[in-house]
Structure formats: C-alpha cells, structure tokens
C-alpha cells in the first residue's frame, strides 16, 4: 500500500477518521460513500455487527491484507487500534464519520452502546488466512515488513 502522495490525497497508510457527506433534509438525513472517492479502496465486502450484549468486545486481531472502513450506523462504540508501536482510541458515534483502518493494524471494538450497529466495509472477501489473532505473531509479522 502506498504512502500519502501529497497533502490532498487520502492517506492509505494510517488510521484516519473520515467525514462522509451528509445531505440534510427535513424528511431525514442521508449519507453515502463511494469507493476510491470517500474511502481509499475498492469495496469487496460489507458486514455488520449488531445485538452486541453490554460489556462485550469484538475484534482483537489484525488483517494481513485487508483494509477496512468502520461506520457507526447507529449507537456508538470505541475502536482501539495499535499501529506498530502507536496505540490510539477512536470514539465512533456519528453516523457520517467512519474510521479507515489499514491492513496490519491490531484493532478491537469495545464500549458498544445499546442498539449499536457497526458497519464494516472492506476490500477483501472473507478468508480465515487473513486473520492474525495472536498478538505476538502480529508483532513478529510487523518486524518482518
Ligand atoms: P470475526 O471476524 O472473528 O468477528 P469479530 O472480529 O467481530 O470478533 O468473525 C466471527 C465469525 O464470523 C467467524 O467465524 C468468521 C465469520 N465471518 C464470516 O463468515 N464472514 C465475514 O465476512 C466475517 C467478518 C466473519
């Protein structure tokens, strides 16, 4: 994955909150995203996490070659990420703000509010071999890169 080419181009290599368009309307608001325009990859899969019991966590792994964009369709949650040696937390609770997470980022989703829906858009099909579930293995792979 290439690094940011200039200040205007979308960063492909770091976790970034991205604001999506919001078409305000008295009948209700509308937001959308288009591949390569609002998110820096081609969409191959969309999945969503919902009915999460209070106190539960999701994730706790990294993906070898999968880039993701996470949107809080309703409710809210916290995304904890580790990029190499840098830890960051992002609170997602605004429907038109999503989080871009590049491949090889360790990520965990916690603090789900009730009735939250977490939409994940990715550029790969589901494959078990994409997952790095062991944190020590993740660190080893990072050092190899
Ligand atoms: P997993 O990605 O481990 O969930 P999370 O990271 O949110 O804790 O997925 C849970 C199960 O669902 C696992 O058995 C794989 C399956 N799954 C699919 O079949 N397709 C998919 O697109 C995803 C994301 C998961």
Alpha-carbon gap, residue 60 to 80, rounded angstroms = 9
pLDDT at 105 over 70: yes
Q: Which residues line ligand 1 (CB under 6 A)?
A: 45, 47, 49, 58-59, 126
Backbone angles phi, psi at 113, to 5 degrees: -75, 160
Q: Which atom of ligand 1 is nearest to the CA of 122?
A: 22
Confidence of residue 72 (pLDDT cuts 50, 70, 90): very high
Lowest mean pLDDT among 7-11, 31-35, 45-49, 108-112: 7-11
CB 18 within 8 Å of CB 98: yes
The more confident residue out of 143 and 128 is 128
Helix or strand (DSSP H, E) at 136? helix 135-144
CA-nearest residue for atom 20, ligand 1, is 126
Atom of ligand 1 nearest to the CA of 133: 3
Domains of the chain are 16-144 (2.60.120.10)
CA–centroid distance, 24 to ligand 1, in Å, is: 34
What is the mean pLDDT of the segment spanning 75-86? Answer: 93
């Amino acid at each position: 994955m290439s690094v940011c080419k200039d200040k205007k181009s979308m960063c492909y290599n770091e976790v970034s909150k991205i604001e999506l368009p919001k078409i305000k309307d008295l009948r209700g608001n509308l937001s959308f995203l288009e591949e390569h325009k609002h998110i820096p990859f081609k969409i191959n899969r969309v999945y969503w996490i919902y009915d999460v019991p209070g106190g539960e966590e999701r994730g706790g792994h990294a993906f070898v070659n999968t880039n993701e964009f996470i949107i809080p369709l309703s409710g809210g949650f916290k995304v904890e990420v580790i990029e190499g040696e840098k830890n960051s937390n992002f609170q997602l609770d605004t429907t038109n703000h999503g989080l871009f997470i590049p491949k090889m980022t360790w990520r965990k989703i916690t603090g789900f509010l009730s009735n939250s829906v977490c939409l994940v858009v990715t550029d790969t099909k589901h494959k078990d071999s994409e997952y790095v579930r062991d944190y020590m293995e993740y660190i080893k792979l990072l050092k190899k890169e």
